[in-house]
């Protein structure tokens, strides 16, 4: 191999033989759980790893008021893991999907971007926003699409 070819072979490359890592963002909402089911089907068919990501919000205002923010977001993450494990157990033997659960901290957009970069995601799946205010400031899904760094699927 030439030096240039060896260097290129060691670099990360997306989209060569189908996705290796499909990232799905979950937050407990109905649309995010539908996104997880959809992403699970994609991962199964593509023989890809399903990276399930929950972004723990950093709520400085709540912490300043003495609210147990960290404990609450940890409980949400634990509940999401339990729901995903239950769903995986129900289809064990019928459908096999390799999956991992990850938590990141920050706002949802920045957390998903960090997760996609660190996990070397080939595709990102998110649920459509269920909040009315996102029509004005933009949803996480729209921001991910506009970033143009990964194929993004938005599940209603």
Give domain limits for the chain.
19-154
- Quick check: 155 pLDDT over 60? yes
Which residue's structure tokens are 């300043």? 64
Whether the CB-CB separation of 122 and 19 falls below 8 Å is answered with yes
Least confident of 59-63, 110-114, 145-149: 59-63
What is the mean predicted confidence (pLDDT) over 15-24? 81
Whether the CB-CB separation of 35 and 127 falls below 8 Å is answered with yes
Mean pLDDT (the chain, rounded): 78
Task: Kindly tell me the sign of the dihedral angle through the C-alpha atoms of 25, 26, 29, 31.
Answer: positive
- Quick check: 81 pLDDT over 80? no
CATH 3.40.50.620 fits 19-154, yes or no: yes
Residues 6+ apart with CB under 8 A from 118: none
Count CB-CB contacts under 10 A for residue 8.
Answer: 11
**Per-residue pLDDT reduced to its tens digit, 24-43:** 999 888 898 899 999 999 99
What is the pLDDT at residue 75?
77
3-state DSSP assignment of residue 67: coil
Give the whole-angstrom CA distance, residue 50 versus residue 12.
Answer: 18
């Amino acid at each position: 191999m030439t030096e240039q070819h060896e260097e290129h072979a060691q670099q990360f490359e997306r989209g060569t033989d189908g996705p290796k890592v499909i990232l799905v963002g979950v937050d407990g909402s109905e649309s995010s759980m539908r996104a997880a089911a959809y992403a699970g089907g994609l991962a199964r068919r593509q023989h890809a790893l399903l990276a399930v990501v929950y972004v723990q919000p950093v709520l400085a205002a709540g912490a300043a008021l003495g609210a147990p923010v960290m404990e609450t977001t940890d409980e949400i993450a634990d509940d999401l893991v339990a729901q995903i494990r239950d769903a995986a157990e129900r289809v064990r033997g019928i459908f096999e999907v390799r999956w991992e659960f990850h938590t990141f901290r920050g706002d949802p957009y920045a957390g998903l971007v960090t997760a996609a970069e660190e996990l070397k995601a080939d595709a990102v799946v998110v649920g459509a926003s269920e909040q009315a205010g996102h029509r004005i400031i933009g949803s996480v899904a729209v921001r991910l699409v506009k970033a143009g760094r990964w194929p993004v699927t938005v599940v209603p």
